[in-house]
Amino acid sequence: MLWRASNTRTPATIASVMVAGVLGVLALRLWVVEPVTVSSDSMEPTVQSGETVLLMKVSPTGGPLSGRIVAFEGDDERILVKRVAAEGGQTIAVRDGLVYVDGDVVPEPYVDSASTDGTFFPLTTVPEGHIFVLGDNRASSVDSRDFGPIPTGDVTATVLTF
Catalytic residue among 42, 59, 115, 140: 42
> Of residues 57, 66, 82, 113, which has the active-site annotation?
82
Residue 75 has a CB neighbour count (10 Å cut-off) of 7
Residue 56 CB: number of other CB atoms within 10 A?
16
**Helix or strand run (H / E) with residue 123:** strand 121-125
Answer whether the bond into residue 35 is a cis peptide, omega within 30°: no
57 in active site: no
Task: Compute the distance between CA of residue 137 and CA of residue 134 in angstroms, rounded to an integer.
Answer: 8
Q: How far apart are CA 16 and CA 12, in angstroms?
A: 6
Residues taking part in catalysis: 42, 82
